[in-house]
Structure 1
Amino acid sequence: MVLFGAPIHAEGSAQAQKAFACAERILKRMQQLNERWREEEGAEFAIRIGVHQGQAIVGSFGSQKRSDYTAIGLHVNIAARIETAAQPNTIYFSEAIARHLAPNLYTSTGHFRLRGISEELELFTSLPAESNAQRLVS
């Protein structure tokens, strides 16, 4: 899990754009690693990335012996469900993210009923590009 906007505050638009750019970089790096692993090991891995934005409870949870800095709440669960819905080696994200991106960066993948989420959500995926991260709008 990657968090944007905590512990250092960032505006919603900046959070969404950074999350999208991070997801793009992760996917690109995974593709590069898979090329190497295919050649060297004859194997590759697939990843799914789900991105969502909303309020969450963020902090250190646990005991003195073992604690984790993490986020919990409905929007964290939605992000996890979006990840589950994503096709292998793709990024799916919610409208909460899409509204902060230039329309030429993404396309709709349809409406999904996600486990544990009462309303159907429209999800989006990034369009192939040399460097979508450089084409973000503010």
Structure 2
Amino acid sequence: MAKQNEYFPQSVSHPGETLAEKLDEMQMGAKEFAVRSGKPEKTITAVLKGESSITSDMAVQFEKVTRIPTNFWMKYQAGYDEYKARVKHEHAIEAAVDWAKSFPVAAMARCGWIARKTTWRDKAAELLEFLGFATHLAWEEYYFNQQLKIA
């Protein structure tokens, strides 16, 4: 459940962008950084391109070379991962709009089971929360499997 004073930014950059800026500031290329950090150049290049995550092991090694604390890299990566997960969840909610229209949402709101919402996107989110599912596809799989058990 979301807290009242949470902030969710519209976009978050991959930690590799900050690493690239730091390497530029240090006048160090990916190859030299790879040697200094003890990581393969391919791995460093993937991080710099935003194609790979920074692991805790990498964060410790990066701290030694960049003097940027391990917890900075870890929190940055966690924030980026959370952002990506929230974007994915938003797409799942948008995909559930047509599914939500097959439910008596207005009657459910009148009964107080779900909050009254004006947009179908918000109604779909309320319905999923009420049913206790993250996506409409998960609900469908569960529901249809239960129906097969009865039949």
Under a length normalisation based on structure 2, what TM-score does the superposition of the two structures give? 0.21
Larger radius of gyration: 2
Identify, as 1 or 2, the structure richer in strand: 1
Q: Which has the higher contact order (CA 8 A, sep 6+)?
A: 1
Under a length normalisation based on structure 1, what TM-score does the superposition of the two structures give? 0.22
Identify, as 1 or 2, the structure richer in helix: 2
